[in-house]
Structures are given as C-alpha cells and as structure tokens.
C-alpha cells in the first residue's frame, strides 16, 4: 500500500479548510494531512486536531510574487515528505479544491492512487462548481455542498497536476509541474468550490487583506463562473467529460505546453447523483 499525503497552505479560510480536513481525512487519514498557515497571526481551528499544522511567517508582496514563493515552499515540503518521511505520493491542492475518484470505481482516493502507477504527476479533470443564481440559494455549510450545487463549468484552469510521485517544482496555483508533461486520469476529478456562492465572493471583494495584495482580479474570475453556469444549457456529464478529457490531454496552452487548454469555452455539465454525498 502506498503512503500518501495531502498538503495545503491557507490564510483566513476556515470555511473551505473545514471541508478540506473532513474530506481528505476520510480518504487518507488525518495523520497524512499537512496544513501550513500563511502568517503567524493565524489561529489554528479546533477541527484541525490530529492533523499536522504549522504557522509560518506571512509571505510578503503582491499576488504574483507571493504565489511563486508559496508554491516554492510547498514543493520543497512535498520533496521533504517523500525523501525524509517515506511518502510515495503527495497531493498538493488549495483549500477549496478536492480531488475525487469517480464513485462508480468504488474506491477511496487512497485506495485508487495506491494502485495507480504514477511516473511523475497525475491530474484530475477540472470541475469548477458554480452557483446557479436562478435555482440555488446561499450555501449551507452544514449540508453536503453537492446536494446544493448541481452544475459545473469544465475549465482547463483546474485540471492541475495535483498528484506528484517525485520531487518537482509546482508552478503558481499548482497549475503545472515545471519541466514535465501532465497526464489526466480517466477516473479523477478536481472539484473547485471557489465559485459556489456569489454572496461569499462579494464579501471577499471587500476583504482588505486580499485586495491589498492584488487578488481582486482573481476573485472576480470566480464570479464569472457563476454567471456562465447560470446562463448555460447544461450538458450530460459522462459523454461531455470524456470528450473534454481527451481534448485537454492533447491541446495545450499556446504559451505553456505543460498546461491543458479548453478547445470549447463555457461548457457546463449537470453533476450526477453519484457524486452528491461525497462533498
């Protein structure tokens, strides 16, 4: 059985982190989670009990520079986990991202990756879940999120090389592994939940801690997903994700060969019932 760890770095993001801990603990075990807090002014939440946590000095600077430093640090931590603690695989994701095995496979994430040969890195197809403004209310954190959100934008931006099998350098936002190709697994999906609630996004737009470091444009992109989901006619999941996976495997970003590219924009799908109780 392979030894697998999941790592992330957060700042003032307890809403998503609670779900992150809950989900990855169920898939890998709490003892195999590593959470780094960006800033020694942070408070470690009670729900992180049993998880390795560490307060780090705040990464200074605007978003581009800070993001580069953040991923350099996390890449170094992933290398240390493999070289010093004997981990075979490390999953690197943001706190609002959840790597999911298709339930039809009938295995946990740990079981599935434990049987999967990974030469360098592995990606799940990017599933950007958005709020449908005409039929979906404000998110209720106490209930499964996918029972409240039924649509997603298939976005190559979130088809990330989240799983690595050797020391490498992730690019900003985990969007690529520098100097290496990507491989999209046929049964893995990276669910991104940063766009699940418009009111939450509006609150973030007024957050001085985020705005002062140049993150306003990034926050606005999340609102765009909501408007795309609300306006689109959703497609059937299985056929659409299969075709998009093949396309993204072969089509690359014009200026970045190791990043996938969507050949058709604004493709929205209905999320099947089989996923509804996972997250």
Find the CATH number of the domain harbouring 36: 3.90.550
- Give the pLDDT confidence score for residue 58 in this predicted structure: 92
Contact between 136 and 229 (Cβ < 8 Å): no
- Give the pLDDT confidence score for residue 15 in this predicted structure: 95
Contact between 39 and 11 (Cβ < 8 Å): yes
Looking at the structure of the chain, the number of domains it has is: 1
What's the chain look like in SS3? CCCEEEEEEECCCHHHHHHHHHHHHHHHCHHHEEEEEECCCCCCCHHHCCCEEEEECCCCCCHHHHHHHHHHHHHHHHHHHHHHCCCCEEEECCCCEEEEECHHHCCCHHHHHHHCCCCCEEEEEEEEEECCCCCCCCCCCCCCHHHCCCEEEECHHHCCCCEECCCCCECHHHCCECCCCCCEEEEEEEEEEEECCHHHHHHHHCCHHHHCCCCHHHHHHHHHHHHHHHHCCCECHHHHHHHHHHHHHHCEECCEEEEECCCCCCCEEECCHHHCCCC
CA distance 146 to 134: 17
Q: Is the pLDDT score of 208 beyond 90?
A: no
Instruction: Please name the residues in contact with 198: beta carbons below 8 A apart, sequence gap of 6 or more.
Output: 131, 133, 223, 226
224 or 214, greater pLDDT: 224
Contact between 203 and 139 (Cβ < 8 Å): no
- Give the pLDDT confidence score for residue 216 in this predicted structure: 54
> In which domain, by residue range, is 197 found?
4-275
CA distance 151 to 234: 7
Query: How would residue 202 be classed by pLDDT, with cut points 50, 70 and 90?
Result: confident
Residue 247: CA count within 13 A, CB half-sphere: 16
Q: What are phi and psi of 85, to 5 degrees?
A: -110, 5
Q: Write the pLDDT tens digit of every residue in 234-278.
A: 999 999 999 999 999 999 988 889 999 987 778 999 999 999 999
- Give the pLDDT confidence score for residue 62 in this predicted structure: 61
- Give the pLDDT confidence score for residue 77 in this predicted structure: 98
Contact between 66 and 59 (Cβ < 8 Å): yes
Q: What are phi and psi of 49, to 5 degrees?
A: -55, 135
> Counting every residue, how long is the chain?
279
Query: How would residue 207 be classed by pLDDT, with cut points 50, 70 and 90?
Result: low
pTM (2 d.p.): 0.94
CA distance 6 to 66: 21
């Amino acid at each position: 059985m392979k030894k697998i760890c999941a790592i992330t770095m957060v700042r003032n993001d307890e809403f998503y982190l609670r779900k992150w801990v809950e989900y990855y603990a169920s898939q890998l075990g709490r003892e195999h989670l590593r959470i780094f807090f960006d800033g020694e002014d942070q408070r470690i939440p009670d729900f992180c009990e049993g998880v390795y946590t560490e307060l780090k000095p705040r990464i200074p600077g605007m978003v581009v520079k800070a993001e580069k430093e953040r991923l350099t640090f996390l890449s170094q931590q992933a290398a240390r986990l493999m070289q010093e603690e004997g981990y075979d695989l490390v999953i690197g994701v943001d706190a609002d991202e959840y790597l999911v095995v298709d339930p039809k496979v009938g295995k946990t994430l740990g079981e599935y990756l434990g049987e999967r040969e990974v030469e360098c890195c592995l990606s799940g197809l990017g599933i950007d879940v958005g709020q449908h403004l005409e039929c979906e209310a404000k998110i209720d954190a106490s209930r499964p999120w996918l029972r409240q959100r039924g649509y997603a934008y298939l976005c190559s931006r979130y088809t990330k090389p989240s799983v690595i099998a050797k020391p490498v350098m992730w690019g900003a936002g985990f969007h690529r592994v520098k100097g290496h190709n990507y491989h999209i697994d046929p049964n893995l999906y990276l669910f991104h939940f940063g766009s699940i609630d418009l009111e939450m996004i509006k609150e973030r737009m007024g957050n001085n801690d985020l705005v002062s470091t140049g993150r306003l444009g990034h926050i606005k992109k999340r609102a765009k997903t909501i408007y795309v989901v609300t306006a689109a006619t959703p497609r059937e999941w299985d056929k659409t994700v299969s075709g998009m996976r093949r396309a993204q495997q072969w089509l690359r970003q014009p200026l970045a060969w190791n990043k996938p590219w969507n050949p058709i924009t604004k493709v929205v799908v209905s999320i099947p019932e089989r996923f509804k109780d996972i997250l």
